[in-house]
């Protein structure tokens, strides 16, 4: 199905099932332990062996010897595969670091061996018997030390490395009110609950991987390239994921090495990465150094915006795109954005939930607050007068829907913003200094081809089949809702099968694009199935009404099962967008409001309450969408207050590579959260008129917390996270 013009009225608009809050249909499986994650797929292949990964203990250099003889002779060991026995595996375009093979070490904990044994304990014990010697090279591990020499990042021969509109320098120089500051964000790890895990098994020249992966179609192609087989020889199956946040978008070492080991030992091999290897062997969110300059008229209207960011990655990698939102978020006639990319020998930097916007808005939205204070304006009003309904870098392109102002007005009213004292450190509750802060949230809406297959069985049950994944987001439920609405069925008469690469290729889970695109693909398949059913029953597909398990037209009525009495009906289609998706700027917006308190004696920070008001098109399932947003808000609290991968700048690794020392928020840290969704439908997005919320809920949260902390205690911290060491000695004097 080609989506080539704004969506008109369609069966989804009935909103009998879509748009209603439903419990997740996979919930009972998960709470009862019946939802099997990758490492738990004990029944999929007999005689599974256990693999234990050995990671490099240097960050840069090469292996001079790798002695596995003692490990190979240890009790229960089946075999040991060594990186020295393989050439480096070919990489897909989405990978930067070598995943396995060869003597070169590019980063700490790079996979160099896998011990395969009859039990996990035997594999782990034998792994400690692997003896490795290295030739260490000097590496670059300190972003601050190399930032000034980092070149502009150019994406192509014609790219200057700078995006400009108007004359920023002249406008900034002429601005009556100027602001110029630097902000930093740290390296962060995804810290998802389920580690990267894979069971691999070969059947002749075909390999199947039961794995934990967000993007099945991408990874099937990547695995075929890495294993040097044709794509039809590779199958991935990933029906349940215990989180990913971007770290499972691409193939990682667990999948590659499990497949290589399985082929060598001729039996299934299962591998899960130890938590330290999740942090150091896979990917992370790179640290940034950001400079923001704002120039405004005295009435608060911005006339110049510049956002420049520096980050680092391995050779051949890319930057953390922290300036993306600053191209689109606020009006100003003169603009400059640029990124610089330093070469670092740290583990690979890559996508983490809301890549770019998450760290970028942590800086931009503090800068907006600081500029508002300099202007003597309320932070909410300052943002409102700088709203724009068109792309500021391309004023001919309007936003399809842009309700940022309503998010802010509604949020301010519901949160009680009028009770905020604009003077920092002026409100106290016992031993606590209390403050309020806010920030805008922004995330682009991305359109991607997505396919699905739907079946009408002889029992009247409709089955949806697609390789779409559910990473804890509720994909099973919203796809079932879509089919139920289209086919006129209750939710319990729809079955959903996900995560298998033998199924039609979906958009996958990532970038906030999964829900809108995968449901649109299911919509397209259902349109075809409705046509088949109507023709089978002798009805006009354009006039037939599918409702309550029946198909009606005029005074004629059939049970849906009547159409399949001679055998199941099957339809498959995909949503495709062509050039229409480029006609509008498409984005989602939110207003984040936070109340935070700082203990005036100890400096301890606590979050009292949080509110997000979101503008994200039609909300398909308010219950699961709220869950996504409050989870993102909690993640933003971690980024603001606790999360930081500590870099050992001598040896080039992340020291706090476990969940004991990398601190993420827990339920007790967030006592009250609320989410409001604006009632809207974006007809330029998809036939579902929906967009995403999973990353929007994170964008801007860190800055809202930082702004609340500043309002509470009067100390402005520009270096995340806002840990005690950065402000304890600056707290207001205690009388």
Q: Is 680 among the residues known to form the active site?
A: no
CATH code that applies to domain 356-443+583-730:
3.30.365.10
- Average pLDDT in the 663-676 region? 93
- Average pLDDT in the 626-650 region? 98
Average pLDDT, the chain: 97
Q: What pLDDT, on the 0 to 100 scale, is given for residue 263? A: 98
Beta bridge partner(s), residue 79: 116
- Quick one: pLDDT band at residue 518, thresholds 50, 70, 90? very high
Q: What pLDDT, on the 0 to 100 scale, is given for residue 324? A: 94
> Would the pLDDT of 29 be above 70?
yes
CA dist 123 → 110, 378, 551 (Å): 18, 61, 59
Q: What pLDDT, on the 0 to 100 scale, is given for residue 356? A: 97
- Quick one: pLDDT band at residue 667, thresholds 50, 70, 90? confident
> Would the pLDDT of 735 be above 70?
no
Q: Are 97 and 143 in contact (CB under 8 A)?
A: no
CATH architecture of 36-352: 2-Layer Sandwich (3.30)
Nearest to 573 by CA among 482, 510, 490: 482
Q: What pLDDT, on the 0 to 100 scale, is given for residue 103? A: 98
Interval 529-571: pLDDT, tens: 999 999 999 999 999 999 999 999 999 999 999 999 999 999 9
Residue 20 and residue 285: Cα distance in Å, rounded?
A: 35
Interval 248-292: pLDDT, tens: 999 999 999 999 999 999 999 999 999 999 999 999 999 999 999
Q: Are 125 and 54 in contact (CB under 8 A)?
A: no
> Would the pLDDT of 1 be above 80?
yes
Q: What pLDDT, on the 0 to 100 scale, is given for residue 157? A: 80
Interval 169-204: pLDDT, tens: 999 999 999 999 999 999 999 999 999 999 999 999
Interval 220-257: pLDDT, tens: 999 999 999 999 999 999 999 999 999 999 999 999 99
- Average pLDDT in the 86-105 region? 96
Class of residue 733 by CB neighbours under 10 A (exposed 0-12, middle 13-18, buried 19+)? exposed
Q: What pLDDT, on the 0 to 100 scale, is given for residue 468? A: 98
Q: What pLDDT, on the 0 to 100 scale, is given for residue 504? A: 98
Beta bridge partner(s), residue 558: 551
Q: What pLDDT, on the 0 to 100 scale, is given for residue 167? A: 98
- Average pLDDT in the 590-616 region? 97
580 vs 592: which has the higher pLDDT: 592
* Total residues belonging to the chain: 735
- Quick one: pLDDT band at residue 376, thresholds 50, 70, 90? very high
- Average pLDDT in the 129-137 region? 98
* CATH number among 3.30.450.190, 3.90.1150.10, 3.30.365.10, 3.30.930.10, domain 11-26+448-576: 3.30.365.10
Nearest to 191 by CA among 663, 556, 653, 634: 663
Q: Are 216 and 236 in contact (CB under 8 A)?
A: yes
**Residue ranges covered by each domain of the chain:** 11-26+448-576, 36-352, 356-443+583-730
Q: What pLDDT, on the 0 to 100 scale, is given for residue 513? A: 97
> Would the pLDDT of 721 be above 90?
yes
pTM of the model: 0.97
Q: What pLDDT, on the 0 to 100 scale, is given for residue 581? A: 77
Options 194, 370, 373, 695, the catalytic residue: 695
- Average pLDDT in the 334-356 region? 98
Q: What pLDDT, on the 0 to 100 scale, is given for residue 113? A: 98
In CATH terms, are 11-26+448-576 and 356-443+583-730 the same topology?
Answer: yes
């Amino acid at each position: 199905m080609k989506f080539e013009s704004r969506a008109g009225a369609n069966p989804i608009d009935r909103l009998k099932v879509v748009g209603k809050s439903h419990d997740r249909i996979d919930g009972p499986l998960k709470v009862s332990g019946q939802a099997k994650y990758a490492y738990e797929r004990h029944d999929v292949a007999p005689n599974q062996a256990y693999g234990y990964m050995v990671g490099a203990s240097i960050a840069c250099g090469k292996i001079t010897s790798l002695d596995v003889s003692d490990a190979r002779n240890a009790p229960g060991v089946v075999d040991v595969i060594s990186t020295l026995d393989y050439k480096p595996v070919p990489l897909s375009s989405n990978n930067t670091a070598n995943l396995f093979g060869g003597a070169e070490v590019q980063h700490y904990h790079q996979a160099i061996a896998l011990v395969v044994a009859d039990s996990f304990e035997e594999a782990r014990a034998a792994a400690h018997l692997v003896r490795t010697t290295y030739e260490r090279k000097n590496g670059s591990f300190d972003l601050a030390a190399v930032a000034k020499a980092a070149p502009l990042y150019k994406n192509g021969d014609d790219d200057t490395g700078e995006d400009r509109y108007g004359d920023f320098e002249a406008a900034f120089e002429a601005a009556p009110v100027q602001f110029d500051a630097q902000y930093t964000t740290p390296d962060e790890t995804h810290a998802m609950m389920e580690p990267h895990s894979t069971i691999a098994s070969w059947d002749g020249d075909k390999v199947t991987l039961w794995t934990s992966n967000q993007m099945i179609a991408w990874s099937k192609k990547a695995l075929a390239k890495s294993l040097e087989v044709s794509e039809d020889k590779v199958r991935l199956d990933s029906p349940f994921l215990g989180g990913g946040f971007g770290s499972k978008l691409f193939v990682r070492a667990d999948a590659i090495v499990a497949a290589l080991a399985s082929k060598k030992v001729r039996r299934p091999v299962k591998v899960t990465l130890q938590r330290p290897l999740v942090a150091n062997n896979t990917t992370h969110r790179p640290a940034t150094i950001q400079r923001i300059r704002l120039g405004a008229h005295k009435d608060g209207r911005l006339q110049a915006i510049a956002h420049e960011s520096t980050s680092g990655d391995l050779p051949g990698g890319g930057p953390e795109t922290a300036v993306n939102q600053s191209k689109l978020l606020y009006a100003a006639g003169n603009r400059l954005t640029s990124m610089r990319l330093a070469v670092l020998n740290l583990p690979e930097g890559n996508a983490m939930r809301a890549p770019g916007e998450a760290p970028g808005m942590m800086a931009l939205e503090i800068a907006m607050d600081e500029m508002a204070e300099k202007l003597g304006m309320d932070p909410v009003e300052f943002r409102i007068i700088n709203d724009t309904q068109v792309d500021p870098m391309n004023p001919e392109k309007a936003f399809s829907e842009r309700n940022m102002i309503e998010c802010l007005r509604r949020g301010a009213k519901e949160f009680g913003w009028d009770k905020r004292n604009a003077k920092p450190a002026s409100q106290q509750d016992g031993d606590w200094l209390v403050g309020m802060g806010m920030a805008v949230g922004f995330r682009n809406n991305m359109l991607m081809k997505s396919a699905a297959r739907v079946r009408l069985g002889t029992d009247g049950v409709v089955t949806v089949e697609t390789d779409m994944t559910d990473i804890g987001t509720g994909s099973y439920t919203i796809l079932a809702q879509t089919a139920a609405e289209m086919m006129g069925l209750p939710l319990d008469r729809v079955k959903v099968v996900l995560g298998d690469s033998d199924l039609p290729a979906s958009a996958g889970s990532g970038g906030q694009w999964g829900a809108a695109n995968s449901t649109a693909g299911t919509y397209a398949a259902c349109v075809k199935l409705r046509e088949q059913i109507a023709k089978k029953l002798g009805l006009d597909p354009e006039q037939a009404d599918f409702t309550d398990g029946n198909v009606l037209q005029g005074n004629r009525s059939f049970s849906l099962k009547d159409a399949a009495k001679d055998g199941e009906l099957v339809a498959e289609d995909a949503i495709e967008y062509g050039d229409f998706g480029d006609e509008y700027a498409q984005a989602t917006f939110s207003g984040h409001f936070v109340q935070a308190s700082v203990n005036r004696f100890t400096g301890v920070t606590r979050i009292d309450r949080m509110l997000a008001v979101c503008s994200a098109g039609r909300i398909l399932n308010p219950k699961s969408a709220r869950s996504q947003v409050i989870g993102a808000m909690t993640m933003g609290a971690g980024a603001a207050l606790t999360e930081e991968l500590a870099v050992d700048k001598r040896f080039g690794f992340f020291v706090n590579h476990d969940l004991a020392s990398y601190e993420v928020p827990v339920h007790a840290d967030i006592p009250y959260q609320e989410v409001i969704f604006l009632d809207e439908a974006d007809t330029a997005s998809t036939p579902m008129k929906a967009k995403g919320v999973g990353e929007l809920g994170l964008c801007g949260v860190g800055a809202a917390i930082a702004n609340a902390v500043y309002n509470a205690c009067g100390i402005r911290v520009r270096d995340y996270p806002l840990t005690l060491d950065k402000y304890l000695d600056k707290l207001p004097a205690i009388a």
